[in-house]
Amino acid sequence: MARLNRVRRLVVVPARYLWASPTTAVGLVAGLCTLASGGRAQVRMGTIEFHGGFSRYLADKVHFSAMTLGHVIIGRDPWALDACRAHEQAHVRQVERWGAVFIPAYVFASLLAWKRGGDYYLDNWFERDARRACGEPDE
């Protein structure tokens, strides 16, 4: 069992980060903008969470509390990050599965939901999956 844990730590975990790295790179750009505009960062559950500054501005403009971009989560403020952490961590796991195609797939799922007459966000497959994964009601 110890050998299996060592292999997981040395191979599987880095492979997940590498596979998700194109999406994480987008998140790091948003994170750097956040830090440059007076925001803050914290490390939680294998992700870097940014809040304040640019992240608050973007959250206000686009109307979200928190958003996952690979292994980066940007949030309006630390309380929003606390409230949304389980949901956003579900998105982190999705990015670890989908890799570089996560962002296009997410956009496609939103367009598909909208084309079918649903809500682009609430009926997006990735959002419904994240709500199920963390025990939120699926609206």
129 in any annotated domain: yes
114 in any annotated domain: yes
139 in any annotated domain: no
Handedness of CA 89, 26, 44, 6 (dihedral sign): positive
Interatomic CA distance for residues 74 and 90, integer angstroms: 14
Q: Give me the number of domains the chain comprises.
A: 1
- Quick check: 27 and 71 in contact, CB under 8 A? yes
Containing structural domain, residue 16: 2-133
83 in any annotated domain: yes
Which pLDDT tens digits describe the chain residue by residue (139 residues)?
Answer: 677 777 777 777 888 999 999 999 999 999 999 999 999 999 999 999 999 999 999 999 999 999 999 999 999 999 999 999 999 999 999 999 999 999 999 999 999 999 999 999 999 999 999 999 888 777 6
